[in-house]
């Protein structure tokens, strides 16, 4: 289980801009690392569009927003184009990073069990430590809550 104050698990993943993004390369900035189940689904679309709409405010607070899902880059490209997302999406197709962060879990839907992403947001501070964790995220008002926390604690 990831806890506040611990070093954020390092990762390097392919990003929607064609580059490999590593957490180490973002030292000195706050990072909102949000894990979501699937591109183009209703809840994930709402969450992504909320991050889009508040993106300028995150930038003012020297905060990078990164979305992570098991979808591939082709899927991410469509998602970004359809919703004009101004931040990078990372492809965790082997769910290694999701596992490292403890968000690859057993889920149930319509009586079936399967492994998938538990919608979770991690705030990583400028030193690479976990500043806050929002587990089992409910999409409504979530992005505003993250933004408010950064303003009050890391701004």
Could you give the residue numbers annotated as active site? 44
121 φ/ψ sector (left φ>0, alpha ψ -120 to 50, else beta): beta
b/e map of 25-61 (b: 16 or more CB within 10 Å)? ebeeebbbbbbbbebeeeebbebbebbbeebeebeee
CB 11 within 8 A of CB 24: no
Q: CA-to-CA distance for 148 and 82, rounded, in angstroms?
A: 27
Antiparallel, parallel or unpaired: β 112-117 and 20-22: unpaired
Q: CA-to-CA distance for 93 and 46, rounded, in angstroms?
A: 22
């Amino acid at each position: 289980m990831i806890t506040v104050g611990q070093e954020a698990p390092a990762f390097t993943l392919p990003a929607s801009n064609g580059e490999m993004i590593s957490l180490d390369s973002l030292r000195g900035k706050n990072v909102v690392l949000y894990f979501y189940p699937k591109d183009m689904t209703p809840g994930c679309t709402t969450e992504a569009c909320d991050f889009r709409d508040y993106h300028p405010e995150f930038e003012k607070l020297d905060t990078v927003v990164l979305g992570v899902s098991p979808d591939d880059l082709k899927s991410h490209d469509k998602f970004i184009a359809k919703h004009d997302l101004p931040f990078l999406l990372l492809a965790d197709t082997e769910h290694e990073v999701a596992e490292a962060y403890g968000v690859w879990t057993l889920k149930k839907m319509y009586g079936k069990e399967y492994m998938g992403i538990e919608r979770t947001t991690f705030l990583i501070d400028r030193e690479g430590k976990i500043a806050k964790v929002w587990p089992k995220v409910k999409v409504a008002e979530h992005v505003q809550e993250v933004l408010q926390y950064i303003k009050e604690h890391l701004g």
